């Protein structure tokens, strides 16, 4: 029987914390989510009962640690419906996953005069690696702009493809505006033009059931453990077997080799070909526990709950005089970006914290978005499954309090 969303809040110990003499209202989930007790317990149990390095060891602890590490990979593969567990590469996070593709795919397939298309809605981690690859390779860096509503227009994208386009990189959900991009339209369009697609899923796998990489037909799919209730320092790169077999290694060292001599080096098969050195075993175990935790809910119920909470948040924020809510996409997920006229976003964030409300302020690693909007930054409230309407009410009450304080 699926776990009820109404029970979720009790699973997160930190949510009982008080901040500045107020109960914590945590609305900074796009930066990192809090961790359920199940994940905390998994990390503790690994270090107190199992801790050992993985692979090649033939003692009991090494075997147990290896089994846990590889079971975590299998859990992630099932979570995103990868065709094979070896299509799941463990990394430090979304940033490293994207840089791995930029370095490895870029080395093998991008040449002078080629083109890379990146959307204007991207986090810097899915923008700068491609910019630097193009600079290094003498390729052309092209940017797909977003519309006045904060959306990507597939028709504009269609006109950007040429015979020199080597890859399209875009997010599934914008970390800055919350736009849910229509991958079901964009990926087939790219493939029809012979272009592989990398998807930054850092803001989507914890919110959307549409993470089936085979159904999406994504060539690359990257996300982070800490944004989906898992530990920091662990992330995932899914890549189709076809690409993993053709791409050269990203890092060199132990674990990723097959044979080494003074005259020849051969490499292991994926995934180990891309996992040089001692892996983050405890992070993988914690990520596996986070996957189990998310799978304990009915995903249809989870999506509906978060959607209703988002709609409530939009309604309540728009009722505040002088507040601008950025973006008006047809579909939005989890992100509420705003400013209040006459109040600097940084000041708003500091003063909300005095009421125990945690939000993020600034450019959110999306300077191209801020430049397009002609603003220096926003206040960003972002939702998770443990948030509720009382959290939204605390946010809006805090905003009104700040307005009254600074505008009297």
Active site residue ranges: 365
Exposure b/e, 304-324, CB count within 10 A at least 16 = b: ebbbebbeebbebbeeeeebe
**Beta strands 165-171 and 197-200, pairing class:** parallel
Of the CA atoms within 13 Å of residue 307, those in its CB half-sphere come to 12
Token couple for 395: 């946010």
Is 169:122 a contact under the CB 8 Å cutoff? yes
Sheet of 115-119, strand order: 88-91, 235-239, 220-224, 197-200, 165-171, 115-119, 140-144
User: 70: part of which helix (H) or strand (E)?
Assistant: helix 60-80
Closest by CA position to 398, among listed 9, 31, 15, 22: 22
Q: How far is it, in rounded angstroms, from Cα 101 to Cα 220?
A: 8
Q: Are 297 and 1 in contact (CB under 8 A)?
A: no
The tally of CA atoms less than 13 A away on the side-chain side of residue 237 is 31
DSSP letter string, 312-375: HHHHHHHTSTTEEE----SSB-SEEEEEETTB-HHHHHHHHHTTTEE-EEE-TT-HHHHHHHT-
Q: Nearest Cα to 29, choosing from 12, 48, 5?
A: 12
Q: How many helices (H) and strands (E) does the chain have?
A: 13, 17
Q: Transcribe 259-304 into DSSP letters.
A: EE-SS-EEEPPTTGGG--SS--HHHHHHHHHHHHHHHTB-HHHHHH
Structural contact between residues 167 and 117, judged by C-beta atoms closer than 8 angstroms: yes
């Amino acid at each position: 029987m699926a776990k009820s969303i109404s029970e979720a809040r009790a699973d997160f110990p930190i949510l009982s914390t008080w901040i500045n003499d107020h109960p914590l209202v945590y609305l900074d989930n796009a930066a990192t989510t809090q961790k359920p007790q199940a994940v905390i317990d998994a990390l503790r149990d690994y270090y107190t009962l199992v801790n050992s390095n993985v692979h090649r060891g033939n003692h009991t602890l090494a075997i147990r640690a290896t089994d846990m590490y590889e079971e975590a990979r299998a859990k992630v593969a099932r979570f995103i419906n990868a065709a094979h567990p070896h299509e799941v590469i463990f990394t430090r996070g979304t940033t490293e996953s994207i840089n791995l593709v930029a370095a490895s795919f870029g080395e093998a397939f991008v040449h002078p005069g080629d083109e890379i298309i990146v959307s204007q809605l991207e986090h810097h981690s899915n923008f700068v690696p491609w910019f630097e690859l193009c600079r290094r390779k003498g390729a052309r860096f092209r940017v797909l702009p977003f519309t006045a509503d904060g959306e990507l227009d597939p028709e504009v994208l269609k006109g950007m493809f040429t015979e020199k386009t080597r890859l399209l990189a875009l997010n599934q959900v914008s970390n800055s505006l919350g736009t849910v991009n229509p991958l079901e339209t964009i990926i087939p369009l790219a493939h029809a033009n012979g272009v592989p697609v990398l998807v930054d899923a850092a803001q989507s796998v914890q919110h959307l059931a549409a993470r089936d990489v085979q159904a999406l037909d994504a060539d690359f799919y990257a996300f982070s453990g800490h944004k989906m209730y898992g530990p920091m320092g662990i992330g995932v790169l899914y890549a189709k077997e076809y690409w993993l077999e053709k791409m050269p290694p990203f890092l060199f060292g132990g674990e990723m080799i097959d044979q080494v001599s003074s005259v020849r080096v051969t490499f292991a098969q994926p995934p180990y070909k891309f996992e040089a050195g001692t892996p983050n075993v405890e992070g993988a175990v914690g990520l596996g526990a986070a996957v189990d935790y998310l799978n304990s809910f009915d995903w249809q119920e989870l999506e509906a709950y978060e959607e209703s909470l988002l709609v409530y948040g939009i309604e309540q924020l728009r009722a505040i005089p002088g507040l601008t809510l950025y973006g008006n996409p047809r579909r939005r997920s989890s992100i509420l970006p705003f400013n209040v006229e006459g109040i600097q976003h940084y000041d708003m964030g500091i003063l909300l914290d005095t009421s125990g409300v945690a939000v993020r302020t600034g450019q959110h690693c999306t300077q191209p978005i801020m430049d397009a909007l002609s603003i220096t930054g926003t206040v960003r409230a972002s939702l998770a499954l443990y948030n509720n309407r009382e959290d939204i009410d605390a946010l809006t009450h805090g905003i009104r309090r700040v307005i009254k304080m600074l505008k009297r």
